[in-house]
Amino acid sequence: MNKNTKLEVTLQLTLESLRKKQYSTESLRRYRIKFNGVIKLAAQMGIAEVNEELLQAYIDDDKNVYTGEFSIILPLFQPSA
């Protein structure tokens, strides 16, 4: 039996919360795709819980597949110089 990591459980609960708030099917699909990316990256890094290292690796790796550029909100999460 495969035990879910704390990260997987947290993201599953987050999706369930969004369903209860009646987010659209398309929004839920997009969140699920992004969450699966976080889970895959965490597994590759051997991380079971959200931490700064995981989030930074995800931000560094999550470029738009069409433009190769980061999302417009990325600068909001970057520390100012």
Q: Would you say residue 22 has pLDDT above 90?
A: yes
Query: Which alpha helices (H) appear in the chain, and where do they start and end?
Result: 6-20, 25-45, 52-61, 74-77
Q: Would you say residue 81 has pLDDT above 50?
A: no
Nearest to 11 by CA among 27, 29, 32: 32
Q: Is residue 80 part of a domain?
A: no
pLDDT at 61: 75
Mean pLDDT within 36-47: 88
Q: Is residue 42 part of a domain?
A: yes
Q: Is residue 1 part of a domain?
A: no
* Structural domains counted in the chain: 1
Q: Is residue 14 part of a domain?
A: yes
Mean pLDDT within 28-44: 88
Q: Is residue 15 part of a domain?
A: yes
Range of the domain at 54: 6-75
Tokens in use for 50? 């959200």
Q: Is residue 33 part of a domain?
A: yes
pLDDT at 1: 46
Question: What type of residue is 31?
Answer: Y
Exposed / middle / buried, residue 42 (Cβ in 10 Å: 0-12, 13-18, 19+): buried
Q: Is residue 10 part of a domain?
A: yes
Q: Would you say residue 34 has pLDDT above 90?
A: no
Q: Are the CB atoms for 29 and 35 separated by under 8 Å? A: no
Residue 69: pLDDT band by 50, 70, 90 thresholds? low
Q: Is residue 46 part of a domain?
A: yes
